[in-house]
Amino acid sequence: MELRHLAAFVAVAEELHFGRAAQRLHVAQSPLSQQIRSLERDLGARLFERSTRSVRLTDAGRSLLGPAKALLADAAVVRRSVRSAQLGVVGRVSIGFAGASSYGCLPVLTRAVTTQLPGIELVLEGPTYAGEALGRIAGDVLDVGFVSLPVRRGVSARVVRVEPLMVALPDGHRLAGCAEIPLSQLASEAFVTFPASRGSAVREAMVQACRDTGFTPRIVQEAPDAYTLLALVGAGVGVGIVVASADSIRLEHVCFRRLAGSGLPTLPIALAWRTGNESAALQAVLRVAEQVLPTPTAYAD
């Protein structure tokens, strides 16, 4: 059994037509048929029922299709890994993340890196809030992280997303029926937010926006992550100021409303790394990030 025999089998099994399968593989139909017969001899089973009008998988053929696809996928990973090693793109890259914005960006980046750079191992470290991430990056403990602006000296960053702020309310709240809510209408509310000790950019933006509106938010409880924060909101503990991406987290008894008024802050989310970090693995990850997480127009050079 050879990989080319399995590739021929999968093509015929998916097309159920030898001519179309041959075109897909860019081979003549006769060698393709020979490869299928060779595979059947090796396995001691017929894989297709053939007639002048149709091609159908046998039970044996159906049982082979899944494992054959898996083997071909594994072989593709092996090839990419070897190519990556030849280019020197191997190693480990640690990524710090926290909050709903990271939840949106992180899967896009990790899937792309896994596909394009199989020689790189990603170590995901969360929750790592913006302030904490900047300290760890500057100290060469963390390779890259999702942070807010501005960054500190010795750290480079590129904006990958811009998030407006929203308010999360219990669905029975007195303001839940409003499409937009002025921040001043929340002055008497209890707030649930992220920990101050770990440098949450969302918390800092929320506190500053409230103060600019003329009040200091009454914080009654801190939450370690967006899911816990929203669960506390749904339980009626308080309201929460969150980024718009949190709207993708669906929990019972929680609703999201836009904040009304001019001058409300938006939160730029950036990918940060230590200036001068010449790790080939990190640089490769940053190149992939530029492809899949482009800089918003407002922040482009």
Domains of the chain by start residue, with CATH: 3-86 (1.10.10.10), 91-160+268-299 (3.40.190.10), 162-266 (3.40.190.10)
In this predicted model, which residue has the larger pLDDT, 129 or 296?
296
Which region, left, alpha or beta, applies to residue 138 given φ > 0 means left and ψ of -120 to 50 means alpha?
Answer: alpha
Asked whether the predicted pLDDT for residue 48 surpasses 90, the reply is yes
pLDDT on residue 292: 95
Asked whether the predicted pLDDT for residue 10 surpasses 90, the reply is yes
pLDDT on residue 87: 63
In this predicted model, which residue has the larger pLDDT, 246 or 287?
287
pLDDT on residue 231: 95
pLDDT band at residue 85 using 50, 70 and 90 as cut-offs:
low
pLDDT on residue 13: 95
For the segment 236-250, the average pLDDT, to the nearest whole number, is 89
In this predicted model, which residue has the larger pLDDT, 149 or 12?
12
pLDDT on residue 90: 82
pLDDT band at residue 201 using 50, 70 and 90 as cut-offs:
confident
pLDDT on residue 237: 96
pLDDT on residue 267: 87
Asked whether the predicted pLDDT for residue 298 surpasses 80, the reply is yes
In this predicted model, which residue has the larger pLDDT, 240 or 1?
240
Asked whether the predicted pLDDT for residue 189 surpasses 80, the reply is yes
pLDDT on residue 16: 93
pLDDT band at residue 88 using 50, 70 and 90 as cut-offs:
low
Asked whether the predicted pLDDT for residue 42 surpasses 90, the reply is yes
pLDDT on residue 86: 63
Average pLDDT over all residues of the chain: 90
pLDDT band at residue 195 using 50, 70 and 90 as cut-offs:
confident
